[in-house]
Structure 1
Amino acid sequence: PMAPGPSRTVLHALLVERAMTYSLFEREYARVSALLYEETGDRVFRNATLAEPTLRRWTSGGLRRLPAHPAPAVLERMFGLPVIQLLASPEPDKVHQAAAPALTESDIEMTAREAAGHASEAAASTLPEMTIDQVEDDIRHLAAGYGALALPDAYQQARLLLEVSQRHLDRTRSPRQQARLYLLAGEAAALCGAACFDLFLLRSAAQFARTAFLYGQTIEFGPLQAYAYGVLAYISYWQDRPAEAVRHAQAAAQAQGVGTVGRRRIAVIAGRAWGHLGDAASARAAMTHAERLTDPSARDDLHDIGGEFGMSVERMLMSNASTSLLLNDASAAAANAQAALDSYGALPSDQRPAMSIAQAHADLAHARLLLGEMDGVAEALDAVLSLPAAWRGTGIVQRVNSIRQRLLVPALGQAQPLRDYGDAIEDWTARAPGQPQATHLGLPQQES
């Protein structure tokens, strides 16, 4: 602090009264200078400093001229007195009375300014609701129309929506908006995973599914976690890891807040996983459970979007046909596949997902092949092979390859209606938009 004793200037008296050392004075001087720079834009205030010898000259008295700009303005703001009075000899009975209220006001003003700035920054970090609403609408539209999109286009749209959701997360501090955007980012990641699965990029599909799960875990949203576990389950059984698939399906069933459609989806996936594992009783129990899940009042905000997130009755029947084939129950497979096709046929033409319908036709062809209905096999195969290349995803290609393996049995492959289908199937599968095209399409690369 300034040395006590007779003060030669009012400034010295104030510094002694407040026990203000040079370092304290310097910090206050810099703070007030910054405040004046904000208010005036005068660059002289920017980063203004004061050397200790200069302060001692000001407090010693006898100055013949006032300090140069910006010092007078800074001192007057700091102490609330004209600089000429601050550098004059003090009148002891007036120093505290004149100066103390001014300094308190300055402190309050600065604190209020900082608080207002913080509040303004927080307010500026809140997105317009319509911005988030648009992302939500885009994701719902993509999910609902997924089956009508070419697979590379579906991936690209989902990727862009994931990036948009993540950018918006960086722009808002509103907990409510962040929760919405975490959900949207999770949904977009889930759609990226679905597209990668269909494009034979199974490792990338699993990574996207785990990303979706983590977003769901962040906001404690069970339906998104259940969906992600379902994706991991069918990735596992397509990769010949049925026991792992069953574990994922069981984990999905433990998720909270999942509605009827989501529960049906989990049961359907569990049935297929049990089928791959060779447990016919558990597979049939899961399929029966899926068929009995019909309560329309139990809903959730993910699976009831429908489309790729849903599990319609048609899609359930189609998937149960595949499970029946795993159980070597050709009659049940044919019945389920035909029921799925009949149900799809009753929908408006713009609501008939090409890839799902092709999968049902493939399962019907396979079932008829096992039943020895060769003319019916050819009819169903013709419907499958007419599917454009852009929709030839993992599920349909694997089904068609299974049929090709059956046709290698001489008694089947040489049947007159099927004699030329082997080469046609090989050519058809070779044109699927899978891994070889990933670089060109801007898709994530599969690890070697």
Structure 2
Amino acid sequence: MRTEPRTLLAWLCARDKVTYRRFAKDFTALGVRLFGNSSASPTCGETQFRRWTGGQLQGLPVTEACQILEAMWPGYTAEQLFGPPPTVDPQAPAKDLEERVRMTAEEALEGADATASTSISDNTIEELRDQVEAVARRYHLVPSAEAYETVDRLRLAIERQRDRTQVPVQQQQLMILNGQAAALLAVAAFDLGYFPSARALARTAAVFGETTRFTPLQAFADGTLAYISYHTGNATEAVAKATRALSYGGLGDMAGRRHQAIKARAHAHLGDVTSARQAILLSSEDGSGHQDDLHDGVGGEFAFSLERLAMSTSTTALIIGDVAQAEADARRALDLIEQQPAEEQSAHVRAGAAADLAYARLIASHVDGAAEALQLVWAIPEERRQTGIVVRTARIGRHLNRPEYHGSPLPRELRERVEEFNRASPPHRIGPHIGLLAIES
């Protein structure tokens, strides 16, 4: 007879369908990330797992084990995990129903196609296209880890359909969708701090774009490869990738805006101020009204809004030492965000612009103004603190370590807040910390 969970940990394992084998694998992997691959890294045997989930533990496990468990279920403390399970889960019925409806819809659609031997229904491809577009347009509203899981499931669904059709036009359409999914996975992997994986996924998207001759996807992938390159210290390669992204035909004005902004940042990292300023000017041009099927048609994470452009220009201006332009563009980004409907406002762009504004004020020795701007950064929930925000706040922390701030209460408080803020971010908590140390130094 099945018994009710006695701890929150047991309840979460049951809810998330976590078996002992999966638990042990995740626990060990997180232990290695947090504490290194050594004999001192905590592990959890099956007997211990049964004691933990069975409510048989007196007190709490060792500190390291508690930290791993808290990383496995962010938002819960060790005390809560070993405490009693919730009496009710108000979100469960809605979530369960939503998942059942989704699974029913997918199973019904697959069943309708089951009799086809060499092709699939065009409606199946339309449904997959709708799902890709929905994920792209909602990307800014969900944590990167959640977005990654969603897109990866979608990628597998697209792959299954590719195996079921031999019709060239359907293969073409599914490869484009597969490439879009890979591009979104690359963005999510970068936001979580997994730079080698992000690079591999962006290259996968580029291959699908090249194979299908879908140039907007090729351009987007090269743009992503460019910013991965300059974040990992390869500014020369970043300029080359951004230049190639701009060379494809069939791109709309928004695509040009995105890749000029990326190119400007790459030139800035190289110290080429003249080229950086030229790219900034080109990124701000009105264009000729051209659009393409990815940056404009799908939009969402594939788009490049004016507020995102302003945030990017602010960061580039800081790198080349133009503090006045950096502050002006950061303010403009924040003003543009406030003009958008709440459901279209990007927390990442808001926090990035606020961090740039704070840094510009610090350079101008306006510490109180920096503290005010940082209030928008502190408001970002832990699970939404992406790589771009972590890099910007780490730069602020380094600046606050300068000798002239030693002994001053407010700079010390801000520096400590930065360390705490970044320590709780997904790139530090679940990502490969070594990569972040490289770009934060």
Shared topology, TM-score over 0.5? yes
Matched to 1:234, the amino acid is: Y
Q: Greater shift after overlay, 381-390 or 397-406?
A: 381-390
- Counterpart position of 2:390: 397
- Counterpart position of 1:207: 200
Matched to 2:151, the amino acid is: A
Q: 1:368 aligns with which of 349, 361, 368?
A: 361
- Counterpart position of 2:223: 230
Distance 1:141 1:280 in 2: 39
Distance 2:428 2:183 in 1: 19
Structure 2, unpaired ranges of 5+: 1-113, 433-441
Taking only aligned residues, the RMSD between alpha carbons, in angstroms, comes to 1.7
Matched to 2:303, the amino acid is: G
Deviation at 1:122, TM superposition (A): 11
Distance 2:149 2:427 in 1: 14
Deviation at 1:385, TM superposition (A): 1.5
The answer to whether the 8 A contact 1:331-1:371 is kept is no
Distance 1:340 1:281 in 2: 23
Q: Greater shift after overlay, 331-340 or 171-180?
A: 171-180
3-state SS of paired residue (2:426): coil
Deviation at 1:331, TM superposition (A): 0.7
- Counterpart position of 2:341: 348
Deviation at 1:423, TM superposition (A): 1.2
Deviation at 1:435, TM superposition (A): 6.1
Distance 1:138 1:409 in 2: 49
The answer to whether the 8 A contact 2:423-2:429 is kept is no
Distance 2:349 2:138 in 1: 12
Q: Which structure has the larger Rg?
A: 1
- Counterpart position of 1:317: 310
Deviations 1:87-143 (A, max 9, x none): xxxxxxxxxxxxxxxxxxxxxxxxxxxxxxxxxx99632211221111111111111
3-state SS of paired residue (2:120): coil
Distance 2:407 2:340 in 1: 37
Q: 1:437 aligns with which of 424, 430, 437?
A: 430
- Counterpart position of 1:302: 294
Q: How many residues align?
A: 318
Deviations 1:24-70 (A, max 9, x none): xxxxxxxxxxxxxxxxxxxxxxxxxxxxxxxxxxxxxxxxxxxxxxx
Matched to 2:159, the amino acid is: Q
Deviation at 1:434, TM superposition (A): 2.2
- Counterpart position of 1:385: 378
Deviation at 1:234, TM superposition (A): 0.3
Distance 1:343 1:416 in 2: 33
The answer to whether the 8 A contact 1:264-1:293 is kept is no
Matched to 2:170, the amino acid is: Q
Identity of aligned residues (%): 38
Residue 188 (structure 2) pairs with residue 195 (structure 1) = yes
Distance 1:216 1:356 in 2: 27
Deviation at 1:253, TM superposition (A): 1.1
Deviation at 1:414, TM superposition (A): 4.9
Matched to 2:231, the amino acid is: W
Distance 1:363 1:131 in 2: 44
Deviation at 1:418, TM superposition (A): 3.0
Matched to 2:292, the amino acid is: D
The answer to whether the 8 A contact 1:358-1:387 is kept is yes
Deviation at 1:302, TM superposition (A): 0.7
TM-score (norm 1): 0.69
Residue 192 (structure 2) pairs with residue 176 (structure 1) = no
The answer to whether the 8 A contact 1:198-1:394 is kept is yes
TM-score (norm 2): 0.70
3-state SS of paired residue (1:124): coil
Deviations 1:259-300 (A, max 9, x none): 1111111100000000001000000100100000443x3111
Residue 275 (structure 2) pairs with residue 288 (structure 1) = no
Deviations 1:171-206 (A, max 9, x none): 111111111111100000000000000000000000
Q: 1:326 aligns with which of 298, 305, 319?
A: 319
Distance 1:273 1:205 in 2: 18
The answer to whether the 8 A contact 2:314-2:356 is kept is yes
